[in-house]
Amino acid sequence: GAGVSQSPSNKVTEKGKDVELRCDPISGHTALYWYRQSLGQGLEFLIYFQGNSAPDKSGLPSDRFSAERTGGSVSTLTIQRTQQEDSAVYLCASGGREGYETQYFGPGTRLLVL
């Protein structure tokens, strides 16, 4: 497919469990972003990758959140010891090498922590 893909589309987990969310960016895009959309906080930035460079983690809400990007392509967002306030839609976006280029979003992963 030509767009950003994310998996799973929905995830239900129990409080305290770890979850992994996956993002496949658009082929050729070097920039990858994670955002979170929740009712209380709206759309908020989490983390940014540019190619193989070290990520900008300035938006991560706690040290329970981490992300990796393997080979400058696929990314995994991991949430450890999930809490109910982690329930949200996690959106991934990718963009071109030039930082000002448009970010294109995937369909998101809807996470529900019981």
Partner 1 sequence: AQKVTQAQTEISVVEKEDVTLDCVYETRDTTYYLFWYKQPPSGELVFLIRRNSFDEQNEISGRYSWNFQKSTSSFNFTITASQVVDSAVYFCALSEKFEAAGYKLTFGGGTRVLVKP
Contact positions toward partner 1, by CB under 8 A? 31, 33, 35, 42-45, 48, 50, 53, 56, 59, 89, 91, 93, 95, 97-100, 102-108, 110
Task: Give the shortest CB-81-to-partner 1 separation in angstroms.
Answer: 26
Closest to partner 1 by CB, 31 vs 77, is: 31
**Whole-number Å distance between alpha carbons of 63 and 29:** 27
- Least CB distance to partner 1 at residue 61 (A): 15
> Closest CB to partner 1 among 19 and 48?
48
Show the tokens assigned to 10. Answer: 């929905």
- Report the chain's C-alpha Rg in angstroms: 13
Is 67:48 a contact under the CB 8 Å cutoff? no
CA angle 103, 111, 56 (to 5 degrees): 40
Smallest separation (angstroms) from partner 1 to the CB of 48: 5
